[in-house]
A and B are shown apart, each in its own frame.
Chain A
């Protein structure tokens, strides 16, 4: 069929028409034989404009369309729809940006007109080398993978599971419950923590739409929003369980700063120096005692262990340290508790109240710095500088260290697996700190709870509910999704098997065919970013709709 290119230049009100001599552009680009029509229009993206274009394509019998208007970021899709409505393949069209990159960057009308001519000519030359691409539709998978069986993961699973949505909950340890299961009580209402978690575990286990994997890890996660392929492996087994999901919730929790990295606190070298979690477990076992079995009389709680090393406040340590004083007071009524702190972090509607209720005759707060724990006889001694900078010390039987909350040791591995980024401290990075606090750089993967940063239980649950809200509203059963059409292709006859492309692919799209010694693209997973094309030394990788030929032809006219 004979090629008939239609070129339409948008005035964009005064935006383009006042800065570019559109008639001059029309004259300059009308010459080639296959350019059937060149016209101007006041606002192509308007309802009238779209109707005009649709009629023109049909009336003129156009085979290719060039629009000179605004940035493709704004209206590329708009005109693709026009093409579809008018019955031509939407990839047989090219948009020349003569607004943002031309009209808006200079006051010199002559220069802007010259540049516009080049840009439109380049688009015309490029569109000649376009070929039709077919859109594919695949059904979106409504199922969800939840990684981490702590309070966040349990909550998300319960909210998401329904008769038309299956939830796969993968927990790396042997039991559900996570960190909260260690807590006898939780602040600030001092309600039992294990009750809270036990009910959720019960509900999860009896929910037939939740499949629980314990002692298991996610080995592979490939794909995109609506269609992820998952491989789960049980520990110490070779076999995988494979399934597909549409979205992923990362609820992998956090870990603690290792106080052995700060030897001044005596952890690991002195008896009766415990970490917060060790103390939680001791308390939950029913008896608070020293190593020799005796009951402690004087207990020091050291706040902010590792805060300087990590460079952030862990937000919950002051509150649980206050809770420890309550534990101690309940179990050992005549105990003396000494909080060594530098700043109290107790924001929110109930925290201050909790602090006021906790402090009392035998619960002391010592604002201090330069803390060091040393041995003194059978006991320990806390050496410190007081508020005036004066050296002081205090003997005690027991020391509890409140260490910073840190990312789990496998967080980098998980981040790589899920293709999401980490912040400076190693926590999973949200897409935007304020605007998108639970989304990530990968659509369809959400981060909830302390895997995203230090957090108490209510905040964790809020995030779990927020993520489920996002998923429920977007991952609707029956919805169709369109995989990227402009995907990469690796030529088998040109590929030399250097695997450069595999190292730069962010989506795990490319595999290596050991038999043929060539790299192969999985077109369903490919997002068309073009990294592989740039990294391929031999031109074996090409991107559909951005072929070497198309780019070369475009550049030829532009420079």
Chain B
């Protein structure tokens, strides 16, 4: 499914944004809530202290005015939020979730694993300039806010998370509606419906879907091509730095085994991670045996096993959001490494995580004829 083919048949709505896109989006949501198209909205909001952002589930429409659709940081990956709300069942209420494309894609992956029920949820994504690393922002929130605002205006990614700088899917339409700001004329923005649900939502809000996508599409294509180039060259460097068993051990040698990366990962949905279970805890006799075999054994053990094991479990669904890297207290470029590996594993199965709810995950899709290139790798 090529992007141009996907979008060429789609039309868009063009909406005015005289007082800024943020205000216009909030007005749209308020209007939709007033019309009972949505009963609640999941959206980022600035914490009262003003120095960070969290996701909230807004039921009181008057609180919408304080929401912040394009927050400068991703404190919690949105997919985890939608999963928390719907995992035990869809509930009676219709919910709009306003998130970044990578969060939407992770949500779709979780839906495939039965961890999200999308039936009553409308997913709204937007052109994403990236998010700042949490620590950068928290060190001086006021300055951070200004830097972020400037970056959004100039579409400059230099202050963003490393994976955001090389993200070629920052405008990917995976949910029901996508909010496009790229290529829009002054004081306007696009509302692009992708699914029937998205279409219906816009129609119920009396929004006409009659404009061409060309301008947005051209801009997005150019940007994503640029990012793809940057991504390829960054990954090439990273592969040299981390490839091979010695480099791999060096890279993860600072790992403190806190498992934060797993705890914040939207795809790591297991109730108990295998690497936190009793299965990887052993008797003194066992540890001594290993120490005898190798001369010594590092404690806590199994860092590489944890990293590669987690990689094996989630990389085909990884959406390259970079939450793991933000959470790493040892500053290991874990997000960049996982994102690089995810590119390869997903390519092997001709799969893109979160691209399409109807695309089965590679583990459960049986194809008689696949992975021949992997066979050759042994020659």
Q: Which residues on A are within 8 Å of B, measured CB to CB?
A: 493-500, 503-504, 517, 535, 537-540, 548-549, 552-553, 556-557
Partner of B313 from A494, A496, A537, A553 at Cβ < 8 Å? A537
7 residue pairs of the A-B complex, CB under 8 angstroms, read A497-B114, A499-B114, A517-B114, A535-B363, A537-B270, A539-B270, A539-B277
- B376 CB to nearest chain A CB (Å): 23
A538 touches B270 (CB 8 A): yes
Contact check, B279 vs A495: say whether CB atoms are below 8 A apart: no
Of the listed residues A495, A496, A549, A556, the one surrounded by the most CB atoms of chain B closer than 10 A to its CB is: A496
Say yes or no: B363 contacts A496, CB within 8 Å: no
Would you list the 9 A-B pairs with minimal beta carbon distance, nearest first?
Answer: A538-B270, A503-B364, A498-B113, A539-B274, A548-B279, A496-B271, A537-B313, A498-B114, A497-B114
A552 near B114 with CB under 8 A, answer no
B256 at the interface (CB under 8 A from A): no
Is the Cβ of B271 less than 8 Å from the Cβ of A549?
A: no
Query: What distance in Å separates the Cβ of B12 from its nearest Cβ neighbour in chain A?
Result: 35
Residues of chain B within 8 A (CB-CB) of A557 are 289
- List residues of chain A with CB within 8 A of the CB of B270: 494, 496, 537-539
8 Å CB contact of B279 from A499, A500, A537, A549: A549
Across the interface, name the chain A residue whose C-beta is closest to B279. Answer: A548
Closest residue to A495 on the B side, CB-wise? B271
In the bound complex, do residue A538 and residue B364 qualify as a contact, i.e. CB atoms below 8 Å apart?
no
Which chain B residue shows the least CB distance to A498? B113
> Of A498, A503, A535, A540, which one neighbours B269 at CB under 8 angstroms?
A498
Give the residues in chain B near A539, CB-CB below 8 Å. 270, 272, 274, 277, 279
Q: Which residues of B contact A499 (CB under 8 A)?
A: 113-114
Q: What residues on A are CB-neighbors of B277 within 8 Å?
A: 494, 539
Q: Given the known A-B contacts A500-B363, A539-B277, A539-B279, are A517 and B88 also in contact in the complex, defined by CB atoms under 8 Å?
A: yes
- Asked whether any CB of chain A lies closer than 8 Å to the CB of B115, the reply is yes
Looking at the complex, which one of B273, B286, B289 makes contact with A538 (CB distance below 8 Å)?
B273
In the complex, A142→B114 CA distance in Å? 40
Q: In the complex, which residue of chain A has the Cβ closest to the Cβ of B274? A: A539
Residues on A with C-beta less than 8 A from B291 are: none
Establish whether residues B286 and A556, one from each chain, have CB atoms under 8 Å apart when the complex forms: yes
Interface residues as binary, B306-323 with A (CB distance below 8 Å gives 1, 0 otherwise): 000000011000000000
Q: Which residues of B contact A517 (CB under 8 A)?
A: 88, 114
Q: Give chain B nearest CB distance to A499 CB in angstroms.
A: 5
Q: Is the CB of B115 within 8 A of A496?
A: yes
B361, closest chain A residue (CB): A500
Complex CA gap A535/B362 in Å reads: 11
Shortest beta-carbon distance from A126 to chain B in Å? 13
Q: Identify which of A493, A495, A500 contacts B113 (C-beta below 8 A).
A: A500
> What's the Cα separation between A494 and B276 when bound, in Å?
12
| Beyond known contacts A495-B271, A537-B314, A538-B274: 7 more, CB 8 A cutoff | A496-B270, A498-B114, A537-B313, A539-B274, A539-B279, A540-B271, A556-B290
Residues on A with beta carbons closer than 8 Å to the beta carbon of B363: 500, 503-504, 535
Interface residues in B254-291 by Cβ distance below 8 A to A read 269-274, 277, 279, 286, 289-290
Between B114, B273, B314, the greatest number of chain A beta carbons within 10 A of the residue's beta carbon is seen for B114
B269 partner residues in chain A, CB cutoff 8 A: 496, 498, 537
Q: How far is the CA of A556 from the CA of B282 in the complex (A)?
A: 11
Measured CB to CB, the closest approach of chain A to B311, in angstroms, equals 12
- Once bound together, how far apart are the Cα atoms of A497 and B87, in whole Å? 10
Structural contact, B271 and A494, CB atoms closer than 8 A: yes
CB neighbours (8 Å) of A496 from chain B are 113, 115, 269-271
User: Which A residues lie within 8 Å of B271 (CB)?
Assistant: 493-496, 538, 540
Bound-state CA distance A548–B269 (Å) is 20
Cα distance, A549 to B283, chains bound together (Å): 12
Q: Are B272 and A494 within 8 A (Cβ)?
A: yes
Q: How far is the CB of A505 from chain B (nearest CB, A)?
A: 11
Q: How far is the CA of A242 from the CA of B231 in the complex (A)?
A: 58
CB distance from A481 to the nearest CB of B (A): 29
Q: Report A514 CB to chain B, min CB distance, Å.
A: 10
Residues of B within 8 Å of A537, CB to CB, are 269-270, 274, 313-314
Q: Is the CB of A538 within 8 A of B272?
A: yes
Within 8 A of A (CB), among B321-361: 360-361
Contacts of A494 in B (CB 8 A): 270-272, 277
Residues of B within 8 A of A549 (CB): 279
Q: How far is the CA of A557 from the CA of B313 in the complex (A)?
A: 25
Q: How far is the CB of B261 from chain A (nearest CB, A)?
A: 16
Interface centre among A535, A537, A538 (most CB of B within 10 A): A537
Q: How far is the CA of A321 from the CA of B314 in the complex (A)?
A: 59
Q: How far is the CB of B338 from chain A (nearest CB, A)?
A: 16
Contacts of B360 in A (CB 8 A): 503
B113-144 interface mask toward A, CB cutoff 8 Å, 1 = contact, 0 = none?
11100000000000000000000000000000
Minimum CB–CB distance from B285 to chain A (whole Å) comes to 10
Complex-state Cα separation, A517 to B314, whole angstroms: 21
- Bound form: Cα–Cα A540–B274 in Å: 9
Closest to B273 in A: A538
Kindly state the separation between the CA atoms of A537 and B265 in the bound complex, as whole angstroms: 14
Chain A residues contacting B273 (CB-CB under 8 Å) are 538
- A131 to chain B: closest CB distance in Å? 16
How far, in whole Å, are A535 and B364 apart by their CA atoms in the complex? 8
Residues of A near B289 (CB, < 8 A) are 556-557
CB distance from B357 to the nearest CB of A (A): 15
The CB with the most chain B CB atoms within 10 A, among A499, A539, A540, is that of: A539
Complex: how many Å from CA A540 to CA B271?
9
Nearest opposing residue in chain A for B271, CB measure: A496
Shortest CB-to-CB span from A47 to chain B, Å, is 39
Q: How far is the CA of A539 from the CA of B268 in the complex (A)?
A: 13
Report the nearest B residue to A499, measured CB to CB.
B114
Min distance, Cβ A501 to any Cβ of chain B, angstroms: 9
User: In the assembled complex, which residues on chain B have CB atoms less than 8 Å from the CB atom of A504?
Assistant: 363-364
Separation in Å of the A196 CB from the closest CB of chain B? 40
Specify which chain B residues have a CB less than 8 angstroms from the CB of A495 in the assembled complex: 271
Which residue of chain B has the shortest Cβ distance to A542 in the bound complex? B279
Enumerate chain B residues within 8 angstroms of A538, measured Cβ to Cβ: 270-274
Q: Can you list, as one digit per residue, whether each of B353-379 has a CB less than 8 Å from chain A (1) or not (0)?
A: 000000011011000000000000000
Q: Which residues of A contact B272 (CB under 8 A)?
A: 494, 538-539
* Residues in chain A near residue B115, CB distance under 8 A: 496-498
Q: Looking at the assembled complex, report how far the CB atom of A3 sits from the nearest CB atom of chain B, in whole angstroms.
A: 13
Which residue of chain B lies nearest to A514 when distances are taken between CB atoms in the complex?
Answer: B89
How far is it, in angstroms, between the C-alpha of A498 and the C-alpha of B289 when the chains are bound? 37
**Residue of chain B at shortest CB distance from A125:** B289
Closest A residue to B267 by beta carbon equals A537
Highest count of chain A CB atoms <10 Å: which of B88, B273, B363: B363
- In the assembled complex, which residues on chain A have CB atoms less than 8 Å from the CB atom of B274? 537-539
How far in angstroms is the closest Cβ of chain B from A323? 39
